[in-house]
Amino acid sequence: MTSATEPTGASSHYKLTHLKALEAEAIHIMREVAAQFEKPALMFSGGKDSIVMVRLAEKAFRPAKFPFPLLHIDTGHNFPEALAFRDKLVEDIGERLIVHKVQDLIDRGDAAEDPGPFPSRNRAQIPTLLDAIDKYQFDALFGGARRDEEKARAKERIFSFRDDFGQWDPKNQRPELWNLYNGRHRMGENIRVFPISNWTEMDVWQYIMLENIEIPGLYFSHKRDVVKRRGQLVPIGDDPFGPRDGETIINCTVRFRTVGDMSCTAATDSPASNLEEIVAEVAAARASERGARMDDKTNEAAMEDRKKEGYF
């Protein structure tokens, strides 16, 4: 790793910046999971948060290998750029990647496409994830979710317990005190662990800049074919992501603040082409990051419902 680990902006080694404090907390959490669980895995989507998680895992476990594989729940709706990035990163770090495909479950009849003409595969991710947990017997899964993303997350623990059905019970969460994490669990139970719970979008970008972490080009401004749909700029790709009736393709300079499925991630009209410009843009932003996720808009408690069902 070539990252900067010296305390920044101050000559003293005793000063601890907020990014270093957040990093230390995340490393501690990752090691705690490695010690308390038999079969963890790190959920990797190719998005910036999971890329930061990989860097944190390097900080926690290098020069040894990670004591867990990476797991990608592949919806089949990925940006091709994100998949290419994923494969290159995995090769660079020399770690194990497990890909579990939503399409395989749909083909088997164990997951269904949502009704409607242009379904999102958010819901079909749930049985796919649970199937992967069952197949590989994972007892802990790292996720890159942050509490600042959405209201339902603000009250979720860092160690978040799921029952046999992968469900989250918001009213029955374990108290979490000091830096003591209670990972005791029964057979069949598993937890989701969120090491960057206390980070904000701004923190993630600043950390990427501080650590000089490579991220997919989708995050930087580029020319892309999009259509305007319900007030948002929706990327256009190969079938089934083509334009719908009455929509006109426009080619403009955009970037993505968040990289999810092509079917449900809107682009931002932005000229920000490097990390400094992105940070400046985030600092001045008027809409939240998840505002670009069409899946959360379905109803006000959308995220809470999906979490209860086992969504990350």
Partner 1 sequence: MSAQTQSKTDFSTDPNANKGMDFSTDAYLDMDLLRFLTCGSVDDGKSTLIGRLLYDSKSIFEDQLEAAESASLSRGDQRMDLALLTDGLRAEREQGITIDVAYRYFATPKRKFIIADCPGHVQYTRNMVTGASTANLALILIDARHGVIEQTRRHSFITSLLRIPHLVVCVNKMDLVDWSQETYDKIREEFEEFAARFEITDITFVPMSALTGDNVVNRSQNMDWYQGPSLLHHLENVHIAGDRDMIDPRFPVQWVIRPQGDEHHDYRGYGGQIASGVFQVGDEIIALPSGMESKIKSIDIGGVPQPLATPPMSVSIQLEDDIDISRGDMLCRPNNQPTSGQDIDAMVVWMAETPMKVGKKYTVRHTSNEARCIIKNLNYRLDIKTLHRVEEAEDLKLNEIGRIAIRTTKPLFYDPYRQCRVTGSFIIVDEQTNNTVGAAMIIGETS
In the region spanning residues 212 to 271, those forming contacts with partner 1, defined by CB under 8 A, are none
Helices (H) and strands (E) in the chain, counts: 8, 10
Nearest to partner 1 of 56, 130 (CB atom): 56
Could you tell me which stretch among 80-88, 98-106, 130-138, 165-173 binds partner 1 (CB under 8 A)? 165-173
Instruction: Find the binder of partner 1 among 71, 304, 309, 310 (CB under 8 A).
Output: 304
Min CB(285)–partner 1 separation in Å: 7
Number of other CB atoms surrounding residue 64 within 10 Å: 7
Nearest to partner 1 of 86, 146 (CB atom): 146
Q: Is 100 helix (H, G, I), strand (E, B) or coil?
A: strand
Nearest to partner 1 of 126, 204 (CB atom): 204
Min CB(149)–partner 1 separation in Å: 10
According to the binding rule CB under 8 A, does residue 64 interact with partner 1?
Answer: yes
According to the binding rule CB under 8 A, does residue 63 interact with partner 1?
Answer: yes
Structure tokens at 175: 């108290």
Nearest to partner 1 of 261, 296 (CB atom): 296
Instruction: Find the binder of partner 1 among 72, 121, 147, 257 (CB under 8 A).
Output: 147
- Residue 212 per-residue DSSP state: T
According to the binding rule CB under 8 A, does residue 14 interact with partner 1?
Answer: yes
According to the binding rule CB under 8 A, does residue 276 interact with partner 1?
Answer: yes
Q: Is 41 helix (H, G, I), strand (E, B) or coil?
A: strand
259-291 core/surface letters (b: 16 or more CB in 10 A; e: else): bbbbbbbbbbebebeebeebbebbeeeeeebbb
Instruction: Find the binder of partner 1 among 45, 125, 128, 197 (CB under 8 A).
Output: 197
Could you tell me which stretch among 84-92, 123-131, 218-226, 298-306 binds partner 1 (CB under 8 A)? 298-306
Nearest to partner 1 of 98, 209 (CB atom): 209
Q: Round to whole Å and give the CA distance between 107 and 177.
A: 44
Nearest to partner 1 of 15, 228 (CB atom): 15
According to the binding rule CB under 8 A, does residue 17 interact with partner 1?
Answer: yes
Number of residues that bind partner 1 (CB under 8 A): 75
Degrees, nearest 5: CA angle 70-71-72: 125
Nearest to partner 1 of 131, 148 (CB atom): 148
Instruction: Find the binder of partner 1 among 112, 202, 249, 250 (CB under 8 A).
Output: 202
- Give Rg (Cα) of the chain: 19
Structure tokens at 176: 């979490």
CA distances 27 to 51, 60, 257, Å, are 14, 5, 25
Nearest to partner 1 of 177, 246 (CB atom): 177
CB 130 within 8 A of CB 310: yes
According to the binding rule CB under 8 A, does residue 171 interact with partner 1?
Answer: yes
Structure tokens at 198: 């206390």
On the 0-12 / 13-18 / 19+ scale of CB atoms within 10 A, 232 is middle
